[in-house]
Amino acid sequence: MKHFEANFDGLVGPTHNYAGLSFGNVASLSNAAAVSNPRAAAKQGLKKAKALADMGMVQGMLAPQERPDLHTLRRIGFTGSDAEVLNKAAKQAPALLRACCSASSMWTANAATVSPSADCRDGKLHFTPANLVDKLHRSIEPITTGNILAATFNNDKHFSHHQHLPEHASFGDEGAANHTRLCREYGKPGIELFVYGQQATNPAAPKPTKYPARQTLEASQAIARLHQLDDNNTVYISQNPDVIDQGVFHNDVIAVGNQNVLFYHQQAYLDTKNKLAEIKQKFGDSPLHFIEVPTNKVAIQDAVKTYLFNTQIITLPSGEMAIIAPTNCQENEAVHAYLQEVVTLGTPIKQVHYFDVKQSMQNGGGPACLRLRVAMNDTEVAAVNQHTLMNDVLFSELNNWIDKHYRDRLSVEDLADPQVLIESRTALDELTQLMNLGSVYQFQK
């Protein structure tokens, strides 16, 4: 049986905009009210996904969400026709309208936590959509995320879909952005690393003082129970609260793992020495590479600005590993120098490829935010909805679809325009046919 790690990238939605919605995320706040280009954003993401497929990787796409979210606007009391709801929300509560228009589901690292079948007691691949309760605009994602995941991984024999965790701060869950997996081979049991920012039931435990810690230990433990993970293959690590306060709002802004490589910043965790020892002991005898980037080579500020750690580390069919980095890393002298050095360190990482994903970066989402990793064997890949898998046909269909429906300029003022809603629904309705998803959106029910 063959094993792969597939990447499912989030297709950027037609309302991609800069609304400054994410306190603690430096890029989101500093680009608030900038004018976005949804068409360029969607094409940048699609190009990266296609490039990975062309490198021989299994690559899928996850559909975006319905925005503006009229269902939520009505749920919070705006009434009348769709146009009236938008108009009233724009006048009476513009901040709420902006929250209901974000294309934030593009960052599918936050869609769910995924545990491959080799790690789970029942031998199924498990998905739990993230509740994303820390941010209003993201807290409205999980139900539709669950619908889209179920339509994409639509086979009960192989895939187990859970409901998102209770919608309370005690269970703040940000999905795969705070979870990584180390393994010898994708199809063999691995070590699942859960990184949390605070403990809800232990207020005395360290936590940040300026910015929110989005992930709780209690949420991570709940996911491990749901996914039937073995304690001997699970490690919980506390994020360093000081770096959260410097803009590291998710662990994937400061660390990334792949197979037997953990690439992380010296300041990423608390109790680093003991935790690395626990990982090593649980991983067993085979070689494990801890690539620690010291502060004197890359400052936290540069890591946050360039997203050096929000890179993807992928294993190419040749067995070599490659780093998929945003072009922002090339533009920073220290980070670029480090990436030139990393391929010479005698670790499995031998290549670096750069992609322009600036439309997403300006909202704090790098290459790794844009993808959900799903390690699968070939039987499981065959059980996936095949219309979601990247190839020349889907690439060309999606490019044409973007050209047909997406604007190349969108400001926050445009969000109240009923025409934006019509365009977005028309596009998504067509997309569900193209990707054979059925009725995953509220407006289709």
**Residues 307 and 253 sit within 8 Å (Cβ to Cβ):** yes
**Which CB sits closer to ligand SUG, 118 or 323?**
323
Residue 250: active-site member: yes
Residue at 177: amino acid letter: A
CA distances from 251 to 43, 147, 187, 240, 318 (A): 26, 26, 24, 9, 29
Residue 104 binds ligand SUG (CB under 6 A): yes
Taking the C-alpha atoms of residue 118 and residue 411, their distance in angstroms, rounded to an integer, is 45
**Which CB sits closer to ligand SUG, 8 or 401?**
8
Residues of this chain, 176-215, that bind ligand SUG according to CB under 6 A: 177
What does the radius of gyration of the chain's CA atoms come to, in whole angstroms?
A: 20
The correct pick among 97, 365, 402, 431 for binding ligand SUG (CB under 6 A) is 365
Residue 109 binds ligand SUG (CB under 6 A): yes
Which of these is catalytic: 100, 101, 329, 369?
369
Taking the C-alpha atoms of residue 242 and residue 269, their distance in angstroms, rounded to an integer, is 10
Binding mask 6-25 for ligand SUG (x = CB under 6 A): ------------xxxxx--x
Residue 145 binds ligand SUG (CB under 6 A): no
Residues of this chain, 236-295, that bind ligand SUG according to CB under 6 A: 250, 252-253
Which of these is catalytic: 5, 66, 174, 192?
174
Tokens at 357, concatenated: 């994903």
Tokens at 384, concatenated: 């996936």
The correct pick among 138, 207, 265, 305 for binding ligand SUG (CB under 6 A) is 138
- Annotated binding residue 363: yes
Residue 420 binds ligand SUG (CB under 6 A): no
Binding mask 117-136 for ligand SUG (x = CB under 6 A): ------------------x-
- Annotated binding residue 28: yes
- Annotated binding residue 439: no
Residue 110 binds ligand SUG (CB under 6 A): yes
Binding mask 73-92 for ligand SUG (x = CB under 6 A): --------------------
In the complex, least distance from residue 148 CB atom to ligand SUG, rounded to whole angstroms: 17
Which of these is catalytic: 250, 265, 336, 405?
250
Residues of this chain, 26-45, that bind ligand SUG according to CB under 6 A: 28
**Residues 164 and 146 sit within 8 Å (Cβ to Cβ):** yes
Residues whose CB falls within 8 Å of the CB of residue 156, separated by 6 or more in sequence, listed in order: none
In the complex, least distance from residue 180 CB atom to ligand SUG, rounded to whole angstroms: 11
Taking the C-alpha atoms of residue 395 and residue 251, their distance in angstroms, rounded to an integer, is 31
In the complex, least distance from residue 364 CB atom to ligand SUG, rounded to whole angstroms: 4
- Annotated binding residue 97: no
**Which CB sits closer to ligand SUG, 102 or 128?**
102
**Residues 194 and 163 sit within 8 Å (Cβ to Cβ):** no
**Which CB sits closer to ligand SUG, 25 or 306?**
25
**Which CB sits closer to ligand SUG, 164 or 282?**
164
In the complex, least distance from residue 124 CB atom to ligand SUG, rounded to whole angstroms: 25
Residue 101: active-site member: no
Tokens at 159, concatenated: 């895939």
**Which CB sits closer to ligand SUG, 108 or 233?**
108
The residue count for binding ligand SUG (CB under 6 A) is 22
Residue 174: active-site member: yes
Residue 107 binds ligand SUG (CB under 6 A): yes
In the complex, least distance from residue 317 CB atom to ligand SUG, rounded to whole angstroms: 26
Residues of this chain, 299-338, that bind ligand SUG according to CB under 6 A: none
Q: Which residues are known to be catalytic? A: 174, 250, 369
Annotated binding site: 19-28, 110, 137-138, 214, 252, 363
Binding-site ranges for ligand SUG (CB under 6 A): 18-22, 25, 28, 102, 104, 107, 109-110, 135, 138, 177, 250, 252-253, 363-365, 369
Annotated binding site for substrate: 19-28, 110, 137-138, 214, 252, 363
